[in-house]
Structure 1
Amino acid sequence: MSTIIGMNRVSGPFSGLKSALSTWLLDDSQDIEVAKAQFESTRHQAPFLYIIRFICAWTIAFTQMSYAPLWLVLIYPICTTIWSYCRIRRLWSAPKAPPRTLEALIVWRKRTQIIAALAPSIFTIWALMLFPYGTAFSQVQIFLTILVGNLSALFSLTHLRSIAVTNAVSSTGIYTLFFSWYGDPAYQLMALFGVAVTFFVALIEMNTYRDFISLIKTGTRFKEQSRYLEQKHRETEKLNALNYQLATTDHLTGVANKRFFRQELDRALRAANASGERFGLCIFDIGGLKSITEIYGLDAGDQVLKEVARRLSGMDGEGVFVGRVGGDEFGFFGTCDPEKYQRVKAAFERLIELPVETKQGRFRPNYSAGIAHSNGAVTCATELFERADFALSTARENRKETSVSYDACLDARRSRDTEILSALLDEETRDGLHLAFQPIIDITCNSILGVECLARWHHPQLGNIAPVDFIPLAERSGVINLISLDLFEKALSEAKAWPESLRLSFNLSASNLSSRRFIVEFLSILKQSGIDPQRLSCEVTETSVMWDFKETRRALDTLKGAGVRISLDDFGTGYSSLSHVHRLPLDCIKIDRSFVSDLCPGSTGYGIVKSLLALSRDMAISCVVEGVETDDELSILKDLGASFVQGYLFSKPLNAAELAQLLATGLPDRADPSIDGLPKAS
């Protein structure tokens, strides 16, 4: 056992030496980049090495022709010449790119190492075979030629350490052994001189080799870093492109978002003004989208928006820029001469009115559009956008025209709206807001069932402002909730002086219903007033219901739970469906006056009113017919079974004093001609 341990101890250092020698001889050949560099360097250096061998061979041959047998003198130079020619020609015709795999490079390296060992050995043996024939001068020349050839090989193969050393050792070893055998001390000293020179040149070349390896590895690291930086650069470019897309594109529809749309609008408007071209902007919304979303889900609404955006993108050929500027709003703009304007308008109307196919069914979208033009007079994109937006708001209110162009009339109206809006934001001028009351009549007994509270506003400078002018602006500016609560307090204060049987109807807007805080404050004011909630009826329009159906239903359920009655105003004119009506906690529906005007048997209004009265009976809720102005209309409504009406036939909206007088005197008999003596609104 001790013997084995001792052998292991002895073999340990030799094993380490063997491993170190193996690593030294491999020349970092396991690094593919180093191996490729060695291949490239060898391909360039090898022809020079072959030429040096060629020169060395023929130099010895010429000096030895007079002394040695001719066949011995010429056999090696001739073979070397042929070999060198073939090798050089092959190197020049071979592919310039190095082998791609490390295995192929290792095979090439081993083949080169064999050649490096055999070539100098054969040359040295041939030269030493000629050594005995010549004179002392020729013998020294043979030695020096061998030495120069070795040193040339060392310099030529600097980048291949193991091959260079193999080349030098094979030749040096042969002539050292030869001169040691030859026995002449002078030649033995020459051999030692050659060994020493070869050794020290080899050491010098090793430093060069280390620099070569360091340079290759530095280059490799640089390439890796360059590839890494290029990859990061590509990733950065992709991220920049993605960020640009996210910053400029609407994620749902793929068209330009509002921010990018406004940015491009500003650029295009400035360009059009500079060139003197006519420029147009159109903003439109998709009507009924909320209804589609409420009934069929968000996915159906998204599909409609995406399909509309896809169709609009097809208008790029007309030179228009398309974008999504709001939830259900899109816009497009471009230069437009009259001919192009008509062409784009026709293309837009054709595209937008086509049915939209979705998974949930087929929908035919409707729209409202606002159009604004500029002939160079508008220099600010914001101003042009606001004009188109104002025209869109007008189109929404005007049910007869789907598109409205901004003109001088709208400009005057917009200026007045700006003045009204400024007044609304002034708390002192809002003190001019007051109420008018229009009676709701029970025609079965010719008595006043209740009154509807109507907002009125007299401004010191602007005069009387109609509700249709200031209510939408109040909603847009965010002061509608303050106005509604203030008017509600005034209404409850007046109601305290009325008979307890008289009902009070108060209108709530979409903004009121969407605010939970408003509903809480509204019920708090009602409770503090001491008025019985059963006397109060809150009127909501179909439009406000569909604006946010879920929140509206929540608000109405809260009001209903507090004992307040709920009425659906202007029924039949909005976008609600019977399914929505059925889901609301309604106590009453009010038939819009548009169905009562020119009411007669056989008319469209007659059939609608008849159907709505039947619907209210089936739902076990009351029905009030608005806008009754003639005795003929009243007579027909009685025949249809109506019980409650409201209109100028009985009374215009009254102030508090006029209402008190009417309540005191009561309604005159309809057959009494003194009907004309009813109090009139001031």
Structure 2
Amino acid sequence: MIGPLFRVFASEQDPRDREELVVAQYKSLTKQIPLLYVILLSNAWMVALSHHGSAPVPLTLHIPVILTGLCVARLLRWRRRSQAEPSFSEASRSLRATTVLAGLLAAAFLAWGLTLYSYGTAFTQGQVAFFIGITVVGCIFCLIHLPLAALCAAVIVNIPFVVFLVSTGNQASIAVAVNIFLVSMAMLAILGTHYNDFASLIRERRRQRLKQAEIEDLAAENRWLANHDALTGLPNRHNFLAAIDAALSSVNARHAELFIAVVNLDGFRAVNDAFGNQDGDHVLMEAARRLGSKDDIDFMVFRLGGDEFGLVWQRPRNGVAAVLAECEEICASLAVPYPIGGVEARISATMGLSSSGTVAGCARSIHEAAQYALVHAKRNHRRGRVTLFTMDHQDAIRRHSILEQAMQTTDLDAELTLAFQPIVDVRSGLPIGFEALARWDSQDLGPVRPDEFIVVAERAGLANRLTCVLLAKVLAVAATWPAWLRLSFNLSMQDICSSDSVLRLVAILNRSGVDPGRIDFEITETAVVGDFDQLVEAVTVLRAMGAGISLDDFGTGYSTLWQVNRLPLDKIKVDRSFVTNINESTTGYKIVKSVIALCRDMKINCVIEGVETVEELDTLRELDCGLVQGYYYSRPLPADAVLGYIDATFAGTAVSRRSQNEPAEFPKPRRRNFAGRRQAARRPA
């Protein structure tokens, strides 16, 4: 019967569960103990009044008054406690004091009751017995959430009282004693069961609360991750657009101006490839720190993804000059070398800037304008600088939109044409091949510049469609040329970004009947810093057919020598920006000299683009350059003028070159044995 109560004292509890249980016991007793004192005092005064006149006054008045004062004081104290939230230590002290006081009060009321028992009649003695028995039951109920106090009161009252009743020898008294004992035991058993359920409920409630707290913490963490970049801790792209929306509403209300900048780290991918992802992450974190390092910054910083960051300002109207100056300072700070493992990584930062004063519309429109300014800066050799989005850019966007619509609806096969610029051997002055250049004479828009429609095609995902049309056309022209004459053809990143695109090129080449060994496919450095593994796979397929591979516009992108060495190249074409003013520019001269030496060491040909003056040609001859291309020899020619140009060029030579398969003095691409190198690389050391 006392098993449940025994388990109350024998069970071990987690300290955190015990703390919660003690506080819960305390809160429960603030409601139950005042009721206990009301029951105790009302019963005691009924007994005192029934003995008035038969018992001494001190027993019927003085002692009840003293006990009443003590109980009322405790009752008021518990009422005050119910208004405050207790700590664990406060609750523990109060429960210990209550347990001790329960034993003392039980002994005091028992002694008072037994003293009165001898002064009454059989009826009043029965009332005393009832008082003691019912008071014990009430105490057990009211102290049900403090079992030790209830047990103390029951033991201190019941054992002496039962012994007293049994000692009287009266049969009725003995029966009352037995009843009191049995009821008390039953009540203690109920107390034990109820308290165990109460304790289990508190533990479960705590576990549920902890689980809920974990869920809330996880939800908060997910919300943070959804709005922040895990590496740098900066707000992310999602937060960026929301912040622009909020800032746009704010500046409109205050008649201010919103500025948005998109920052791209030029050369970061090369640093990441050279030093590894861990050091690349270090560079990104350092860049994020520099962006927010100034104490007086009044802009928000975001990481938009990869090596791209976003900045948001709110400034008074006509504050463009100040923002531009601040952006230049930011670019300069990001260009300071980054220490990595004892060496310094050097990158720059290009920034596109837009404002709500120039771009009307929503947050996304202003962001896209800043993005356009960034791309425009990179395409126009303004890396490491700030480019502000202007109305000229707005006009260009409209123009590009018109071009894109026209490109999607027009018959490209009918409107696209080709021009050919010769690639000339410097030593002989004779052409060894031609580079095919696209031209578009739109029926609706008129002639469209190549730099316009090629950019639009790449942005709209139409580049591969253009390439397929142009490749079929250029191969048809090349089939009419002498077999020794080579053809260079440019490929877009979209042409080599997937196996399907490469297979379309292979199919067109196979249908043409032109020897693939006469074709040089040119890829730009922007393709090299894209999906490099896919690029290697595409280049390997094309080269396996016999086609040559050239790296175009070398020096304008961010390919590394490691990447260049991994590609099975036949030629490197140096961008014309390094040739312009080569006689006055020491830097350009040194770069061209170094690239020529690099190609010589790699046993591949080097083609210098953009040669326009005899002085430039003489300088390149001094540097032992083999192949050149530029206006000095010829502007791009229509397809039907190529053979005439060849005849005119070879006029006066001893032998007609068109009658031979290949002129002996023309430099041939010296192919490297990449298959053997790869096999050697696979051999165990």
TM-score by length of 1: 0.77
In the other structure, the counterpart of 1:249 is: 228
Deviations 1:234-275 (A, max 9, x none): 223212212211221123322222222112212211221222
The answer to whether the 8 A contact 2:227-2:235 is kept is yes
Matched residue SS, 2:637:
coil
Q: Is 1:388 equivalent to 2:370 in the alignment?
A: yes
Per the alignment, in what secondary structure is the counterpart of residue 569 of structure 1? Answer: strand
Provide the C-alpha distance between the structure 2 equivalents of 1:571 and 1:465, rounded to a whole number of angstroms: 26
CA distance in 2 between counterparts of 1:572 and 1:123 reads: 108
Q: Which moved more, 1:42-51 or 1:643-652?
A: 42-51
Tell whether 2:307 aligns with 1:328: yes
Is the Cα–Cα contact under 8 Å of residues 446 and 669 in structure 1 kept in the other structure?
no
Match of 2:54 in 1: 63
Indicate if the aligned counterparts of 1:153 and 1:167 stay in contact, CA closer than 8 A: no
| Percent identity for Structure 1 against Structure 2 | 29
Shift of 1:99: 9.5
Match of 2:16 in 1: none
Aligned equivalent of 2:360: 378
Read off the aligned partner of 2:598 and give its amino acid letter.
Answer: L
Partner residue in 2 for 1:661: 644
1:409: Cα distance to partner? 1.4
- Note the C-alpha offset of 1:372: 0.7
2:304 matches 1:304 = no
Distance 1:40 1:613, change over 3 A: closer
Instruction: Quote how far apart the aligned CAs of 1:340 are.
Output: 5.5
AA at the equivalent of 1:243? N
What amino acid sits opposite 2:229 in the alignment? Answer: D
What is aligned with 1:428?
411
* 1:182-201 superposed matches below 5 A: 192=172
User: Which amino acid is 1:370 matched to?
Assistant: G
| Cα distance change on mapping 1:596 and 1:114 into 2, 3 Å | closer
Distance 2:346 2:94 in 1: 70
C-alpha distance 453-145 of structure 1, shift in aligned 2 (>3 A): closer
Q: Does 1:582 align with 2:565?
A: yes
Work out whether 1:641 is the aligned partner of 2:632.
no
Name the count of aligned residue pairs. 623
Cα deviation per residue 1:152-175 (whole Å; 9 max; x = unaligned)?
634653527875598468547646
| 1:573 corresponding residue in structure 2 | 556
CA displacement 1:414-448 (0-9 Å, x = unmatched) = 21111112222225256311211111222433322
CA displacement 1:575-598 (0-9 Å, x = unmatched): 334443333322222233333334
Aligned counterparts of 2:194 and 2:136: Cα–Cα separation in 1: 19
Residue of 208, 224, 230 corresponding to 2:209: 230
Letter in 2 for 1:450: G
Contact 1:117 1:170 in 2 (8 A): no
Pick the aligned partner of 1:409 from 389, 392, 395.
392
Q: Which moved more, 1:43-52 or 1:523-532?
A: 43-52
Task: Give the letter for the 1:387 counterpart.
Answer: A
Specify the alignment match of 2:125 in structure 1.
143
Q: How far is the alpha carbon of 1:125 from its aligned partner?
A: 6.3
Give the residue type in structure 2 aligned to 1:447. L
**Are the counterparts in 1 of residues 267 and 558 from structure 2 also a CA contact under 8 Å?**
yes
Q: 1:448 to 1:350 in 2, by over 3 A?
A: closer
What is the root-mean-square deviation in Å for CA atoms of aligned residues? 4.5
Q: Which residue of structure 2 aligns with residue 5 of structure 1?
A: none
Match of 1:484 among 467, 487, 506: 467
Give the equivalent residue in structure 2 for 1:3: none
Q: Secondary structure of the equivalent of 1:63?
A: coil
- SS of alignment partner, residue 441 of structure 1: strand
Q: CA deviation at 1:508?
A: 1.6
CA distance in structure 2 between the partners assigned to 1:602 and 1:382 by the alignment:
42
Structure 2, unpaired ranges of 5+: 12-20, 144-149, 654-685
**Larger deviation: 281-290 or 624-633?**
624-633
Q: Provide the rounded CA distance (Å) in 1 between the counterparts of 2:214 and 2:4.
A: 41
Residues 289/376 of structure 1: CA separation in 2 closer, same or farther (3 Å cut): closer
Instruction: Report deviation, 1:23.
Output: 4.6
CA–CA distance in structure 2, aligned partners of residues 374 and 38 of structure 1:
65
Specify the code of the residue in structure 1 equivalent to 2:570: D
Q: Which moved more, 1:165-174 or 1:229-238?
A: 165-174
What corresponds to 1:418 in structure 2?
401
SS of the residue corresponding to residue 547 of structure 1 reads coil
Give the structure 1 partner of residue 452 of structure 2: 469
Query: What is the CA distance between 1:386 and its match in structure 2?
Result: 1.7
Correspondence for 1:288: 267
Please name the residue that 1:185 is paired with: none
| 2:511 corresponding residue in structure 1 | 528
Instruction: Report the residue type matching 2:282 in the other structure.
Output: Q
Work out whether residues 608 and 629 of structure 2, in 8 Å CA contact, stay in contact via their aligned partners in 1: yes
Describe the SS at the equivalent of 1:425: helix
Provide the rounded CA distance (Å) in 1 between the counterparts of 2:443 and 2:617.
39
**Residue 635 to residue 113, structure 1, CA distance change in 2 (3 Å):** closer
Matched, 1:272 2:251: yes
User: CA 1:304 to 1:165, structure 2 compared with 1: closer, same or farther past 3 Å?
Assistant: closer
Distance 1:272 1:559, change over 3 A: same
CA distance in 2, matches of 1:268, 1:496: 61
* Alignment partners' CA distance in 1, 2:4 and 2:213: 41
Cα gap change, 1:659/1:214 in structure 2, threshold over 3 Å: closer, same or farther? same
Task: In structure 1, list runs of 5 or more residues that go unmatched.
Answer: 1-19, 66-72, 131-137, 181-190, 671-682
**Is the CA contact 1:124–1:175 (under 8 Å) kept in the aligned structure 2?**
no
Q: 2:219 is aligned with what amino acid?
A: N
Distance in 1 of aligned mates of 2:38 and 2:161: 20
The answer to whether the aligner puts 1:493 opposite 2:494 as a matched pair is: no
Distance 1:527 1:312 in 2: 53
| 2:486 matches 1:510 | no
CA distance in 1, matches of 2:643, 2:237: 54
Shift of 1:600: 3.7
Is residue 2:327 matched to residue 1:345? Answer: yes
Give per-residue Cα distances to partners, 1:192-226, cap 9 Å, x unaligned.
Answer: 4x778898899999999999888867765664554
Cα displacement (A) at 1:282: 0.7
Q: Distance between the aligned counterparts of 1:469 and 1:302, measured in 2?
A: 36
Distance 1:596 1:462 in 2: 34
TM-score (norm 2): 0.77
**Residues 1:239 and 2:218 are matched in the alignment:** yes
Matched-pair contact (CA < 8 Å) for 2:5–2:188: no
Q: Kindly tell me: are residues 110 and 299 of structure 1, through their superposed partners in 2, closer, same or farther at Cα, counting changes over 3 Å? A: closer
Q: Which moved more, 1:608-617 or 1:297-306?
A: 608-617
Aligned to 2:678: none
Equivalent residue, structure 2, for 1:555: 538
Amino acid at match of 2:456: L
| Bigger Cα Rg | 1
